[in-house]
Structures are given as C-alpha cells and as structure tokens.
Amino acid sequence: MLKANISHLPKDHPKVEFGRIGVLLMNLGTPDGTDYWSMRRYLKEFLSDRRVIEVNPVIWWVILNAFVLTKRPFASGEAYRSIWNEELDESPLRTITRSQAEKIAEKLSDAPQIVVDWGMRYGNPSIKSRLMNLQQQGCDRILLFPLYPQYSAATTGTACDKAFDALKQMRWQPSVRVVPPYYDEPRYIEALARSMKDSLAKLDWEPEVVIASFHGLPLEYFQKGDPYHCHCAKTTRLLREALGWDEHKLRLTFQSRFGNAEWLQPYTDNTIEELAQEGVKRLAVVTPGFSADCVETLEEIAMQGRETFEEAGGEKYALLPCLNDTPDSIDMLEAVIRRELAGWVDLDVSQTAEQPAERTLAASGTHG
C-alpha cells in the first residue's frame, strides 16, 4: 500500500493511504442462525427490500409484520437446519462464498495491491462493512462483483443499491466498477457444461430429462422491463448447445415463487410432478443461476423436489451441484475479474473469458 508524504502536514493530520484495489464478491445473504429470532431478522431485512417486494409499502408492512414474520421464521428455520454446516455453525452459502473469495485471492497473488473480500446483501458480513474495510486498507478503487450470472433488479440491482448506499456515507469515495452479468460468458457456459457432465458421470443411471431451474421472478417485474427471463433463456440455450442436447432433454423452469401473484413459468415444482406423471422415471435438476449451493438448491430442489418426484411416480432423482468453489468456477471468476480490472492494474489477461460476439436481447417473444 502506498503512503503519501505527509511530513509537511501537522502532526494530527489523518494518515493518508491509497493505491490498493479492492474486489468485493457480493451474494444474496444468510441468517446468522436457524433459531426464530435469527430467521426473523434475516427475513425482515430481505422482505422489506423494495426491489424484492414492489407492492404498496403500507399494505406490505402490515402483511409482513402481522402475518409473514410471525409464521415464516419457523418454516424457514426448519429448512435451514436441514442443510446447515454444523461444523462451522453457518449456512453453506456463507461457507462457499468465503472459500470463493479466498481462492480467488490466491489466484490474484501476482498483484499484491489487490484485496479480495466478500459480503452479503442481507445478513452478515454486510456489504457496507466490507466496503468500509476495503477503504480502510487503502483501496481507492473497488470492483463490485455481484455473484448472479443473470441480472435482475431484485438480485444484482439491490446488491449494487446497498453498495451505493454505503458509498454515500464515505467522505472519500473510492472509484467503483461493477462486473456485468455473465450469463453468456463462454467460460461460464463451459464450466457449467463440464460440471454437469462430471456430475452425471458419477450417477449409476442416466436421466431422461434434466431441468435447468432458475430462481423465480414475478411476471409483473419482467413486464416492467427486467431482463432476467431473457438472460436465463439464453444461458439455457447456450448450455444446450454446449452439451449437444435439445429442448426436450434440458428444460427451463423457475422455482421459489412467493405469494399469490403469477411468476415466470413454467414452475419447477409443477414440472417435476408433471414429468413423473407422464412416465419419466429418471430426472436430474441443475441450478445454473446460483453461484453457490444454498437453501434454495439443497433443501428446496434436492429434498422437496425429490419428494414431489417420487410421490408422483418417479424413481431416480438427483440435484447436480452448483459451480461453488470448484477449480472451474474459480478459474472462470478469476478470468472475469482480470478482464474487468483492465486499466486499473496491469494483469495477465491471457485467461480472460472472451466477450460474446453479440449481447443483444431479442425484442420479440423469442428471448435468448
């Protein structure tokens, strides 16, 4: 870290530090525990986000505090307990995101001026606390990396909002860049395809159908201009091409809907049930929109999905793991980071993922 020459300044002048570059990995978040009050705090922060819930705030405040937060913490706590990392007393999402940051820091060791950290939009460690920590270490330039391959205002957008809120409180704001969505990055698609092939090779059976399940989004948000559905559709199409599969073999669905409004379809749970009822006996599910396994993959898809499939007549079922902190995942994230830091620091970008030739979205109904 560089230190300015302050010999000519008064002795009580604050220390001036600069010259380092921060990289902040940002993910959704996690409760601190599975007990009622930990879950309630987490859910209140999450469900109070105006990017996540866009209904009338006065009406939603009453619904949230009078109904949702009195019951949902119990059910959510039970779900988290089923996948909790007991050894470290934390959720898998926190364990994996920390590991991703540590491994990326090792890969960037050729640039000692770079500091890699991680933070959560909801829960701890907060994005604000990690940004302040990076600034205190002398980072006057910070690369924000939302770990959402596909952009949505309710994920990438709100994570950036939280970072910008923290910047508003800084007297000396660092310069900031944001990594763009990487839903069609060649290295991302290649990593997904290899991960799927490796996971399928470990099964002693071959799935008749594989579902690519992405987190859901209210249909209204898409109609207002959110590009999320288009990004998910393109990721799925590119993944099909990389695997040499057709639309019957790899199907796009959306999970985790909440409330009574219509969400993006087809729904994952309904599709799992329908496939079993139609006679499909062997089914696998992959979740390309999640950078790390979490309650939505390990509990909702792996456990609830299996139960739904088997009760409807299915026999063989498997969740294929997320990219997590595997070598392919870290190599891909590193390549994106090296490319996005260009101009700030002289890095070897020979492994940088190539830019797709075209990033346009179809204006018609055939997205992706």
Return binding residues.
215, 296
- Consecutive H or E run containing 214: strand 209-215
Q: Which residues are annotated as a binding site for Fe(2+)?
A: 215, 296
Q: Which two tokens stand for residue 9?
A: 């300044």
Q: Which residues contact 102 (CB under 8 A, 6 or more apart)?
A: 116
Neighbours of 47 (CB within 10 A): 17
SS3 209: strand
Q: Which two tokens stand for residue 261?
A: 């409004």
Q: Which two tokens stand for residue 323?
A: 């990219």
Say how far apart CA 271 and CA 253 lie, in whole Å: 8
Say how far apart CA 175 and CA 98 lie, in whole Å: 24
Say how far apart CA 181 and CA 110 lie, in whole Å: 26
CB 148 within 8 A of CB 156: yes
Say how far apart CA 115 and CA 137 lie, in whole Å: 8
Report the DSSP pairing between strands 139-146 and 175-178: parallel
